[in-house]
């Protein structure tokens, strides 16, 4: 995932999906980014050139028979190259604690330093009526 000196990048920060042009300038790198409509685009483009990373969303098994499978996501991006390694770790993981959405399930996922959050509700009873 190393880059050529100039690259076109589709920004994935929001649904607009801006097409960015990113260029690395000089040996002490500085970057010229064009095409972005907001500052998040610039940050994304630099990240994409240096260390592309993504939020991982998937499911994990639990020990609870009423919710044997729950959805999870990383609390922020992890390096793209670590995604499959993280998936492998999660394949044999089993959640043993009931959590609300947004609560931390794993503090450091696969050595990325990024936490894994539960995203589905493992606590509230099924119905409210």
> Closest approach of Cβ 59 to another protein, in Å?
6
The answer to the question of residue 51 lying near another protein (CB under 8 A) is no
Among 41, 110, 114, 119, binds another protein (CB under 8 A): 119
End-to-end CA distance of the chain: 52
Strands 57-62 and 104-106 turn out to be unpaired
Secondary structure class of 68 (helix, strand, coil): coil
Smaller CB separation from another protein, 26 or 125: 125
Residue 58 beta carbon to another protein: minimum distance, rounded to whole angstroms: 6
Q: By CB under 8 A, tell whether 54 contacts another protein.
A: yes
If one asks whether residue 63 binds another protein (CB under 8 A), the answer comes out as yes
Neighbouring-strand partners of residue 95: 62
Q: Does 71 bind another protein (CB under 8 A)?
A: yes
Planar angle of CA 17, 19, 21, nearest 5 degrees: 145
Structure token pair of residue 42: 């610039």
Give the Cα separation of 7 and 126 in Å (integer): 49
2 binding another protein? (CB under 8 A): no
Q: Is residue 79 within the footprint of another protein (CB under 8 A)?
A: no
125: DSSP letter: -
Query: Which residue lies nearer to another protein by CB, 25 or 100?
Result: 100
């Amino acid at each position: 995932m190393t880059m050529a000196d100039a690259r076109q990048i589709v920004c994935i920060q929001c649904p607009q999906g801006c097409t960015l042009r990113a260029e690395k300038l000089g040996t002490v790198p500085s970057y010229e980014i064009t095409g972005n409509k907001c500052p998040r685009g610039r940050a994304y483009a630099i990240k994409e050139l240096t260390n592309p990373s993504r939020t991982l969303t998937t499911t994990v098994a639990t020990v609870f028979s009423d919710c044997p499978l729950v959805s999870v996501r990383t609390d922020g991006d992890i390096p793209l190259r670590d995604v499959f390694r993280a998936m492998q770790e999660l394949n044999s993981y089993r959640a043993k604690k009931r959590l609300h959405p947004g609560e931390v399930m794993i503090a450091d996922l696969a050595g990325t330093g990024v936490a894994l959050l539960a995203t589905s509700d493992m606590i509230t009873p099924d119905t409210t009526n």
